[in-house]
């Protein structure tokens, strides 16, 4: 199959109406979309992505009114969030109506809904009579795409069309809020929309704490966003820089640092800006991942605002501290060099 990247909305709409999958732009990351009311079309998303079917999908709508067609009941705080933050990078998980195919929700009685804030995506949604089910347009477990070329790298030959909407403005996935046992709002996934802003609108939002073996938002699974190169999250990269003698080392820091010989250094932000850092995050993962490095060290970003979501992604893309120590020990026995 030949994979095209282009800006033809009519072509994208016509493929989707014919139960095909199409990669589409959103303000967060690129999605792999299909008719959310057509179980066979949605099944193709899981096949193309190699995504396990227990992981439910988000339904994307052009407006709040259309999203309400699939929602059975909605606490008043959720309605408030829709009014204040849609269109935007906010997903709400709410009790579903029976018109949602169970493949979309992985058999759950809730559905994830979102009105995205991307001009091209909104135009496309307005041309369709159904919502678009769409996970991020990457192979399962890999880094989410924030440019059309990223989608092409992962899915070429697997899909026929990538609708080009430029680079994603946010660069990390939407923030997900669900309903707790007492009908209260619960943060299921930190993301592009700062939780503080949501709290300014509706009051305190607690984070979901893991009580079950199956996470209620499987995006919270470990290792979900990982580059293929082993990556480790550290407080201060300077502690590890002596490793450069025998390891091909990549560094991903928040701000630009002084360049060090023999190291591949990348910064998330030129201007010490967390929004810019979020926007660049996945592109930097990909840049470092093709350099054939032995390891990548991530440095934590300031833990405030969307820095919380960025640190969450960095943590999930990293191996544990124990694995880092083991990794370094094994490397040393291979190279016979001095311990760090
Ligand atoms: O920004 C985004 O949210 C992007 C763009 C394309 O909209 N989409 C995205 O989709 O990140 P995905 O599939 O990679 O992540 C959706 C998350 C998953 O962690 C899934 O488990 C959770 O939403 N989710 C979906 N339906 C759910 C439900 N009924 N209950 C709990 N979690 C749900
Ligand atoms: Mg994803």
The residue that leads in pLDDT, 46 or 213, is 46
DSSP element (H, E) containing 43: helix 39-49
247 vs 252: CA distance, rounded Å: 16
* 187 CB near ligand 1 (under 6 Å): no
pLDDT at residue 334, rounded to an integer: 44
C-alpha 239 – ligand 2 centre gap (Å): 32
Mutate to test the pocket of ligand 1, among 91, 140, 225 (most ligand atoms within 8 A of CB): 91
Contact 70, 100 (CB under 8 A): yes
Atom of ligand 1 lying closest to residue 55 CA: 21
| Mean pLDDT of the region 271-293 | 96
Q: How far is CA 325 from CA 118, 310, 322, in A?
A: 43, 24, 5
With CA atoms as reference, report the closest residue to 120 among 27, 4, 33: 27
pLDDT at residue 335, rounded to an integer: 42
38 vs 16: CA distance, rounded Å: 10
Atom of ligand 1 lying closest to residue 173 CA: 1
Q: pLDDT (tens digit, 9 = 90+) per residue, 90-143? A: 999 999 999 999 999 999 999 999 999 999 999 999 999 999 999 999 998 889
Contact 319, 327 (CB under 8 A): yes
pLDDT at residue 339, rounded to an integer: 41
70 vs 111: CA distance, rounded Å: 8
* 110 CB near ligand 1 (under 6 Å): yes
Task: Report H helices in 61-209.
Answer: 64-67, 76-85, 102-105, 119-127, 148-155, 195-202
pLDDT at residue 141, rounded to an integer: 82
pLDDT at residue 25, rounded to an integer: 98
* Shortest-distance ligand to the CA of residue 172: 1
Q: pLDDT (tens digit, 9 = 90+) per residue, 222-273? A: 455 778 899 999 988 877 776 545 778 899 999 988 887 778 999 999 999 9
* 55 CB near ligand 1 (under 6 Å): yes
272 vs 225: CA distance, rounded Å: 23
Mutate to test the pocket of ligand 1, among 88, 94, 147, 173 (most ligand atoms within 8 A of CB): 173
pLDDT at residue 220, rounded to an integer: 53
* 175 CB near ligand 1 (under 6 Å): no
Q: pLDDT (tens digit, 9 = 90+) per residue, 5-55? A: 999 999 999 999 999 999 999 999 999 999 999 999 999 999 999 988 889
Chain centre to alpha carbon of residue 97 = 26
Task: Kindly report the protein residue whose alpha carbon is nearest to atom 31 of ligand 1.
Answer: 217
Q: Is the pLDDT of residue 327 over 90?
A: no
* DSSP for residue 174: P
pLDDT at residue 142, rounded to an integer: 87
* 57 CB near ligand 1 (under 6 Å): yes
pLDDT at residue 331, rounded to an integer: 65
79 vs 82: CA distance, rounded Å: 5
What are the phi and psi torsion angles at 139 (to 5°)? -65, 150
Q: Is the pLDDT of residue 214 over 70?
A: no
pTM, full prediction: 0.92
Neighbour tally for 330: CB within 10 Å:
10
Q: DSSP string spanning 48-66?
A: HHT--TTS--EEE-SSHHH
Q: Is the pLDDT of residue 211 over 80?
A: no
Atom of ligand 1 lying closest to residue 221 CA: 19
Q: pLDDT (tens digit, 9 = 90+) per residue, 72-101? A: 999 999 999 999 999 999 999 999 999 999
**Residue 321: band (very low, low, confident or very high) from pLDDT cuts 50, 70, 90:** confident
Whether cis (ω within 30° of 0) applies to the bond prior to 87 is yes
pLDDT at residue 336, rounded to an integer: 38
* 167 CB near ligand 1 (under 6 Å): no
| Mean pLDDT of the region 199-215 | 77
| Mean pLDDT of the region 293-319 | 94
* Shortest-distance ligand to the CA of residue 217: 1
C-alpha 273 – ligand 1 centre gap (Å): 26
Q: How far is CA 11 from CA 156, 165, 166, in A?
A: 18, 14, 17
* 136 CB near ligand 1 (under 6 Å): yes
């Amino acid at each position: 199959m030949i994979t095209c990247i282009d800006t033809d909305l009519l072509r994208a709409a016509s493929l989707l109406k014919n139960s095909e999958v199409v990669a589409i732009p959103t303000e967060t990351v690129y999605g792999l979309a299909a008719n959310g009311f057509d179980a066979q079309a949605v099944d193709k998303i899981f096949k193309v992505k190699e995504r396990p079917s227990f992981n439910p999908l988000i339904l994307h709508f052009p407006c709040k009114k259309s999203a309400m067609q699939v929602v059975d009941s909605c606490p008043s705080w959720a309605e408030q969030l829709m009014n204040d933050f849609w269109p935007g990078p906010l997903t709400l998980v709410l009790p579903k109506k029976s018109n949602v195919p169970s493949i979309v929700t992985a058999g759950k009685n809730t559905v994830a809904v979102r009105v995205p804030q991307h001009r091209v995506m909104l135009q496309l949604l307005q041309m369709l009579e159904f919502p678009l089910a769409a996970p991020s347009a990457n192979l399962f477990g890999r880094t989410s795409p924030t440019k059309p070329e990223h989608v092409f790298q992962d899915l070429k030959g697997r899909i026929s069309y990538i609708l080009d909407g430029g680079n994603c403005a946010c660069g990390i996935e939407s923030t997900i809020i669900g309903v707790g046992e007492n009908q209260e709002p619960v943060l299921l996934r930190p993301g592009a929309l700062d939780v503080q802003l949501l709290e300014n609108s509706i009051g305190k939002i607690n984070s979901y704490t893991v009580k079950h073996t199956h996470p209620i938002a499987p995006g919270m699974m470990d290792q979900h966003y990982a580059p293929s190169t082993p990556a480790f999250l550290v407080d201060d990269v300077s502690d590890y820089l002596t490793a450069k003698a025998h390891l091909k080392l990549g560094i991903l820091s928040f701000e630009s640092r002084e360049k060090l010989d023999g190291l591949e250094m990348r910064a998330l932000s030129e201007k010490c800006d967390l929004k810019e850092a979020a926007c660049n995050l996945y592109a930097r993962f990909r840049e470092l991942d093709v350099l054939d490095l032995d390891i990548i060290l991530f440095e934590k970003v300031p833990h405030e605002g969307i820095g919380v979501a960025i640190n969450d992604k960095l943590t999930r893309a990293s191996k544990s501290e124990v694995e880092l120590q083991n990794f370094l020990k094994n490397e040393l026995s291979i190279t016979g060099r001095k311990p760090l």
